[in-house]
Structure 1
Amino acid sequence: MSRRSQVEETVRAVIGEILPDLPATDVTLDKNLRDLGADSVDRVEIISLLIHRLASKEPISDFADIPHIGALIDHLSKGSE
């Protein structure tokens, strides 16, 4: 499994944990966390958990301008393949 595939799987799992009522089919790469119904606290929890699970050293502020789930996966995957 590629690093990007692993990151995508982790992103989907974390979103499912923080937004348990969201159908998994709604998590598409073109949507952002707001589109999925995540409020500001949910978004911080999702990013914080992703940073932890993926052992990223990036500050949470580096994630502020990421436009959608696909870009989030790309950002978390970069430099790790």
Structure 2
Amino acid sequence: MSTPTDARERMDALVRDVIGQILPGLAPAAISGDQHLKDLGADSVDRVEIILGLVDRLGLDEPMSRFAELPDVDALVDFLLRAGRR
């Protein structure tokens, strides 16, 4: 049976995978949960591509505006977990 910790770890891995696809020069180990996508070197276009990639892979229907105030990667992971339960 899947636990909340398992679900969070899978979501975290997915987020890191998508970030790595959009920012290929960034090593996965360099992605810290307390960093904003800007801190990782993502410009505004990169950030939109990361969000669209995640929404697409998860089959979510979330407006882009819902992602604007997320302070860091951990908050993004948590938001995606909540959105997936709706």
> TM-score when scaled to structure 2?
0.87
Letter in 2 for 1:62: R
Partner residue of 1:45? 49
Quick check: 1:67 aligned with 2:71?
yes
- 1:54 corresponds, among 42, 52, 58, to 58
1:1-81 equivalences under 5 Å are 2-78=6-82, 80=85
- Measured against aligned partners, the alpha-carbon deviations of 1:49-70 in whole angstroms (never above 9, x if no partner) come to 0000011111111000000000
C-alpha distance in 1 between matches for 2:7 and 2:59: 13
Aligned length, in residue pairs: 81
- Measured against aligned partners, the alpha-carbon deviations of 1:7-57 in whole angstroms (never above 9, x if no partner) come to 111100000000000111110100010000000000000000000001111
User: Hey, which of these two has a bigger chunk of helix by percent?
Assistant: 2
Runs of 4+ with deviation above 3 angstroms: none
CA RMSD of aligned residues (A): 1.5
Of structures 1 and 2, the one scoring higher in RCO (CA 8 A, sep 6+) is 1
C-alpha distance in 2 between matches for 1:41 and 1:53: 18
Larger of the two Rg values belongs to structure: 2
